[in-house]
Chain A
Amino acid sequence: MAGNSDPLSPRAKLAVTAGKAAAAVSRAAGRGSGSVIGGKVALRLDPDLLGRLAQHLDVILVSATNGKTTTTRLIAEALRAAGPVVSNALGANMPAGITSALAGGSDSRYGVIEVDEKYLAGVARDTEPKAIALLNLSRDQLDRAAETRMLAEKWREGLTGTKAVVIANADDPLIVWAASSSPNVVWVAAGQEWKDDAWSCPSCGGVLQRPGDDWVCAECGFRRPVPSWALNGDYVLDPHGAAWPIHLQLPGRANKANAATSAAVAATFGVPPQVALERMYQVQAVAGRYDVVTFQERQMRLLLAKNPAGWLETFSLIDPPPTPVILSVNARGADGTDTSWLWDVDYTRLAGHPICVIGDRKLDLAVRLEVAGLDFRVCADVDEAVRIAPPGRIETIANYTAFQDLRRRVGN
């Protein structure tokens, strides 16, 4: 399927050109990269454009609640060992953004595509992927998103009988449920710290038993599949039992899990784990996430955490006390306007750190931390929060638009 033997139709070419023009106008107007508006214009002219663009590529889709942008980057780096890659590296992960990204990759062999959870089934139908990586599912933006379990159900229906190899996390019961309608699944023991969206059996509603790393439904027998790949500390275990060291510039357990999944995806395309993992080392900050910037003579590490599962993984990677921590939370449209999820996050994990809270919803954070019995300061903005901290490292954790606000202010 790879290669350019089947050129685009005149209509598709026109759509691509019009999309690029719209993107250029949008950029010139200072409205971001223009990839989404460009894709929208192109799809309006040729609704089948996404499928047509994908025909020329070996497509790999990546979806999850957390880690999909980073994993998309890791897979893209790994597959560059085998050929040119086009990817929606900036995280525009709905059909318009994906179309726009693919339109720029006419010479590529692989299309590595991050897909928003709600669009996975549709994009999988349109692009006929060779592989689909499914990492995790948990609560996120509940004021506007589908219920988490319903999302798993939709994936399961949409992926029934798919020709793609599905590379899926055996440690997340919702992911296992979603993937288990696919005929060809490679299970990866990638771990999942957050468990509070999967106490109920996705199949029958029974209560899952979770002894150690295992999980099983006592009522219907739905259980953790035997993984062929596994994350084991700082190593990836491949299906032959060989252990490959993970060296990443990206911090944290969750990124090691993303690397393990990415190695399994790369192997599907003939890239050996050693080669894949060496290439992944090159990935630094992903769209500013994990970046360390110098601001007012402090080194701020910028960490994005959008939901309880993300905050939990983030707490496990920050430097120990007395490293100061700045927390910033907004509740604008892109964040979800409901802040109740703050109460699902165990902030007592921050005990011992000096804490400052900022952002549109700093008062929600203040009450949350007060009830957790933690000391904290409420600051007007990031400048004030940084001034209070001594010179050195500051860990900064923010949700989606709060993170964008931070990047704008601290010059990253």
Chain B
Amino acid sequence: MRSTSQNGLRLVWVYPDLLSTYGDQGNALVVERRARQRGLDVSRLDVRSDQQIPTSGDIYLIGGGEDRPQRLAAERLIRDGGLNRAVANGAIVFSVCAGYQILGHEFINDLGQRQPGLGLLDVISTRGEGARCVGDVLADIDERLGLPPLTGFENHQGVTHLGPTARPFARVRFGNGNGTGDGFEGAYNETVFGTYMHGPVMARNPHIADLLLKLALDVNALPPVDDQWYEALRNERIAAASQPA
């Protein structure tokens, strides 16, 4: 069994030296902040790609990056093996863009080759033929998760196909998401999440940070915190996505 309550909540930010191109630190900051606001004892560990991934973390965050760093990160994560062991132990993982692709079975790397991922999400990523997907996105998060609409900013060329054991994280109203033409955005299973949204995504969707905290703590609810600025930003960005320039 996991022992979150005894040792405090352990947040692990995976490979900021390679996968932190789009303000990905923001997701770690928001999760950390919202845990502290609930009076939780939280520690954050930033693990560089020449360091070992600890297997005892509760929540792992992995961000977006450029094409070569993505390949290097996948190689090093497979060699390390720690993230897969952590997931086997029940840890929660939230991934964005390049990190999302790495968690799948395979993706296309900077050399144009198919490269194996970690196989933690039942998805396969290819490279899109059309224009790069750039801009504000509005989507409805899978109803099983009970969260308000997803707002984010996407900037990717990738196309991600879901296999039978991955559920779409959201369905887009405006924007591209997975780029498969079926309106799917992101993917998830019981403990592993992936999205193309940065912004960073937690800054615009603090409910996702809370969802990760609830899953890690195995609780159904958290004490409320003051969300006035998050809500103001959400309203502004949702309106902007609905009326693209």
Contact: A337 with B135, CB < 8 Å?
yes
What is the minimal beta-carbon distance from B188 to any residue of chain A, in angstroms? 22
C-alpha gap A3/B200 in the complex (Å): 54
Determine if A341 is an interface residue (Cβ-Cβ < 8 Å).
yes
- Select one of A144, A149, A207 contacting B17, CB under 8 A: A207
> Is the Cβ of B229 less than 8 Å from the Cβ of A363?
yes
Q: CA–CA, A337 to B49, complex, Å?
A: 30
- Name the interface residues of B34-59: CB closer than 8 Å to any CB of A: 48-50
Taking the closest CB of chain B, its distance from the CB of A15, in whole angstroms, is 34
Report the bound CA distance from A52 to B24 in whole Å.
Answer: 46
Report how far A144 CA is from B131 CA in the complex, Å: 12
- Chain A contacts with B in 143-187, Cβ cutoff 8 A: 143-144, 147-150
> In the assembled complex, which residues on chain A have CB atoms less than 8 Å from the CB atom of B134?
143-144, 337-338
CA separation between A367 and B209, bound complex, in Å? Answer: 14
* Interface flag for A371 (CB, 8 Å): yes
Q: Mark A201-224, 1 if CB is under 8 A from B, else 0.
A: 000011100000000000000000
Give the size range of A's interface with the partner: 20 to 34
**A147 surroundings in chain B (CB, below 8 A):** 66-67
Residue interface mask A326-355, B partner, CB < 8 A = 1: 000000000001111111100000000000
Question: Which of these, B16, B17, B69, B199, contacts A340 with CB under 8 Å?
Answer: B199
Within 8 Å of chain A (Cβ to Cβ): is B233? yes
Q: Judge whether A367 and B203 touch: CB under 8 Å.
A: yes
Is B155 in the interface zone, CB < 8 Å from A? yes
Min CB distance, B152 to chain A, in Å? 10
- Cβ–Cβ contact A370 & B49, under 8 A: no
The distance from the CB of B20 to the nearest CB of chain A, in whole angstroms, is 7
Indicate the size class of the contact surface on chain B: 35 or more
- Most chain B Cβ neighbours within 10 Å, of A199, A344, A371: A371
Contact A343/B25 with A143-B155, A199-B48, A207-B50 known, Cβ cut-off 8 Å: yes
A148→B22 CA distance, assembly (Å): 12
Q: Could you say which residues of chain B place their CB within 8 Å of the CB of A148?
A: 66
Residues of B within 8 A of A370 (CB): 229-230
Query: B203, A368: Cβ atoms under 8 Å?
Result: yes
Q: Using CB atoms, name the residue of chain A closest to B235.
A: A363
Q: Once the chains bind, are B233 and A363 in contact (CB under 8 Å)? A: yes
A199 contacts across to B, CB distance below 8 A: 17-18, 48
Residues of chain A with a CB closer than 8 A to B21's CB: 139, 142
Compute how far the CA of A200 lies from the CA of B67 in the bound complex, rounded to whole angstroms. 13
Q: Is the CB of B66 within 8 A of A367?
A: no
Confirm or deny: A392 has a beta carbon within 8 angstroms of a beta carbon on chain B. no
Cross-interface CB contact of B23 among A205, A337, A342, cutoff 8 Å = A342
Whether A205 contacts B68 by the Cβ 8 Å rule is yes
Complex-state Cα separation, A372 to B135, whole angstroms: 26
What's the nearest-Cβ distance from chain A to residue B36, in Å?
9
Interface: B88 (CB within 8 A): no
Name B's A-contacting residues (CB within 8 A).
Answer: 16-18, 20-26, 29-30, 33, 48-50, 66-69, 72, 134-135, 153, 155, 198-200, 203-204, 229-230, 232-233, 236
List of 5 A-B pairs having minimum Cβ-Cβ separation, nearest first: A343-B26, A340-B23, A343-B23, A199-B17, A207-B50
Could you list which residues of chain A lie within 8 angstroms of chain B, going by C-beta atoms? Answer: 139, 142-144, 147-150, 196, 199-200, 205-207, 337-344, 363-364, 366-368, 370-373, 378
**Would you mind naming 21 contact pairs between A and B with Cβ atoms under 8 Å apart?**
A142-B21, A147-B67, A200-B68, A205-B68, A205-B72, A207-B17, A207-B49, A337-B135, A338-B155, A339-B23, A340-B198, A341-B23, A342-B26, A343-B25, A343-B200, A344-B20, A344-B25, A363-B232, A367-B204, A367-B229, A370-B229
Extra inter-chain contacts (20) besides given A200-B18, A207-B48, A371-B29, CB under 8 Å: A144-B134, A199-B18, A199-B48, A200-B68, A206-B50, A338-B153, A340-B153, A340-B199, A341-B23, A342-B26, A343-B29, A343-B203, A344-B23, A363-B236, A367-B203, A367-B204, A367-B233, A368-B203, A370-B230, A371-B203
